[in-house]
Amino acid sequence: MPITRRQAIAAGAAVAGQGIVGLPAKAAPPAPRQDVLWYRQPASIWTEALPVGNGRLGAMVFGGTTSERIQLNEDTLWSGGPYDPLNPKAGPQAVEHIRKLIAQRRFAEAEALANDCLIARPVSQMSYQTFGDLFIDMDLPGTPRTYRRELDLDKAIATTHFATSTGTITRAALASPVDQVIAIHLSASHGVTLNLAVRFDTPQDATVRAAGNAIHAEGRNRADHGIPAGLGLAARITASAQGGSVRTEGATLVVSGASHATILVALATSHAGDPVATVARQIANASARPWVALRDAHIAEHRRLYRRAALHLGPASTLPTDERIKANVESDEPALAALYFAYARYLMICSSRPGTQPANLQGIWNESTKPPWGSKYTININTQMNYWLADPANLGECAEPLLRMVRELAVSGAKTARAIYGARGWVAHHNTDLWRASSPIDGAAWGMWPMGGAWLCNALWDRWDYGRDRAWLAAIYPLMRGAAEFFLETLQPSSQGLITSPSISPENRHPFGASVCAGPAMDRQILRDLFDRTAAAATVLDHDADFAEQLRHARSALAPDRIGKAGQLQEWLEDWDEAAPEQDHRHVSHLYALYPGHQINPDGTPELARAARVSLDRRGDESTGWATAWRIALWARLRDGERAHKILRSLLSPARTYPNMFDAHPPFQIDGNFGGSTAIIEMLMQSRGSSLHLLPALPRAWPSGSARGLIARGGVAVDLKWTEGQLVQAVLQPMESGTVEVRLGEIRRTFTLSAGRLVTLKGSTLAIS
């Protein structure tokens, strides 16, 4: 994912013009709660602001006093419109020419030809967009003091509280999944009246006006890379006041003399209907409900998901969250890892709900019209990592948007498969966007990788493996079959077995002046999973027996993983690792088989597991945020809890975690939050098929703790409690009847479980208590 220096600087630059005054350092004494982020001062930059979201709408709350900024997003607001990015020179002849050049080891020529004939036109895809900013300018009596802002993860409400010379003001913000609005409620103590102005600004091509005690914005999205704007958009903002009045002045709403005020924000695009009618309906429905009813319905729906699981690793620090992150560098705070886990679950609920778009590179939160890497769906690791957390963290339905995206991507991917490769089935490369573009983009060094769709299918299989929902399996089977069919037609013979060509090992250059190659390890590993799982799905569903057998045969013919001369797991088909120009490359693509895959493990494939360890050592522990998270999960799979914890601490430092706990790639990418939190689960529990390994990588730094509501493969809910590094109790509750092998250290026991019935195991012996 190439990024320019200008983009990187812009992403980290301070946001000017927020109207935030300096405040005294003194703050109200905080309650040391496990699930609250809190701060002594307003946010001055975007990565200090606090996120709220309902899956479709997102907002970043800065917590200003004299002027509040709330940055707004809607998940279908992207640049451009429907487009066909097929390179006019693309076709099977060009692919075959590139294959021949690769076979002749003329890699740089092959890459140049791929850039000319296969890379999409336009070269880049469309970008996720900010909708704009809501500003609340307040007329306050004197200088604010005794300030505190917080994000309550259990309520999904961001609150700003400060005192004035005559009393206190509290401002609460939420994004309701029930009423489909962003709501901001202001209240003042006795002796204070609320006098404020509400205004809206957008970088989109829209007209903003006020009429009928509401702000209206209507217009179009932005063109991009030569693709014209294809979306209409609308926003409607209203204010109501208790004990005061509301009027319009120009394009501004003015509230005067109120004790309480509620601001409602509705946003929509034409992606799913008439946006003007949509926002009018949403505002009308939400306005009919008092704030308390709107808030309580929101909290109840959020808690339905949020309270399913929890992690406790010790008492929480009384320091503000930003200071806890800084302090964690010198003195480890286990409770900060537990907060990170809770925050990731919160972010998942807020950025990916059934019926919404999937979480993109920034989840649902983005303040730019040209965000880093377009804030797209990067499907050579990042989108998949976004959903690693969903099932084991008991949020399986949050993966539903991914299924719908893959269904849509398979349609465009079928056209790409025919036009570029002359093949049946469907294919997607390393990126996609709202318009489900599937051609290779950016350049051959990044985009000439045909495995994105196959890996997405493996991610969809995980939802089945955890939940065992036959309806889900039936829904994903045609997608898996189409992805597998493409590779059955395009795999190439070699002296070592069947391989892909052309391809790359994601974003890494080999020693011959290019990235384009044949048969990199990751491709073969992903295909083993795809072929195995598609055949297994066919068997479960009693479909396509002949096709399933064809897949099993092709799977057995794939080139095997190989160990190189340095004892490492080879990244490429040939032993090139020693001479590769980036020994510490952020991607560890060839370790897919260790995690998230299960093909390599210390018990079943000890030699390959040792080789994976060598590769990890050579790559180094520290990398970009998401790549650091991946390394933690890999070390956890190798059952090295101390190494995993060491890297986790680096992830939870100011270098990789922003003050608002967003992952710092840098810049912000949400996959690090999701991946790092999934790695925490891997340290506490690992499951494969019908086996469950408890505390496989528990570090000494977490001597005592508990976890509730984790989900193991096979549909088993797991609660854990441990003290002094030893398991005290495990409670299993299966979703369906069956057997499970439970492992604790060297102890292994097999149990027959009945659907819905609790089984409590004593930690020391795994005996049923």
Q: How far apart are CA 247 and CA 235, in angstroms?
A: 18
B/e letters for 490-505, b = 16+ CB within 10 Å, e = fewer, are: bbeeeeebbbbbbbbb
**pLDDT band at residue 24 under the 50/70/90 scheme:** very low
pLDDT at 744: 97
Over residues 262-314, the pLDDT tens digits come to 999 999 999 999 999 999 999 999 999 999 999 999 999 999 999 999 999 99
**Phi, psi (degrees; rounded to nearest 5) at 595:** -160, 130
Over residues 672-719, the pLDDT tens digits come to 999 999 999 999 999 999 999 999 999 999 999 999 999 999 999 999
* pLDDT of 575 strictly over 60: yes
Instruction: Enter the tokens of residue 174.
Output: 């939420």
Percentage of the chain modeled with pLDDT above 70 = 96
End-to-end CA distance of the chain: 52
pLDDT at 32: 57
**pLDDT band at residue 142 under the 50/70/90 scheme:** confident
- Name the nearest CA neighbour of 451 among 592, 627, 584: 592
Residue 565's CB is within 10 A of a number of other CB atoms, namely: 9
Enter the pTM of the model.
0.95
- Name the nearest CA neighbour of 67 among 45, 42, 50: 42
Is the Cα torsion angle 380, 382, 383, 386 positive or negative in sign? positive
Per-residue pLDDT, averaged over 729-748, amounts to 96
Q: How far apart are CA 567 and CA 569, in angstroms?
A: 7
Instruction: Enter the tokens of residue 237.
Output: 């903002």
CA distances from 331 to 317, 360, 489, 548 (A): 11, 33, 55, 54
Q: How far apart are CA 531 and CA 548, in angstroms?
A: 8
pLDDT at 16: 26
Over residues 347-359, the pLDDT tens digits come to 999 999 999 999 9
Q: DSSP secondary-structure letter at 591?
A: G
Over residues 359-373, the pLDDT tens digits come to 999 999 999 999 999
**pLDDT band at residue 1 under the 50/70/90 scheme:** very low
* pLDDT of 19 strictly over 60: no
Residue 133 and residue 71 in contact, taking contact as beta carbons nearer than 8 Å: yes
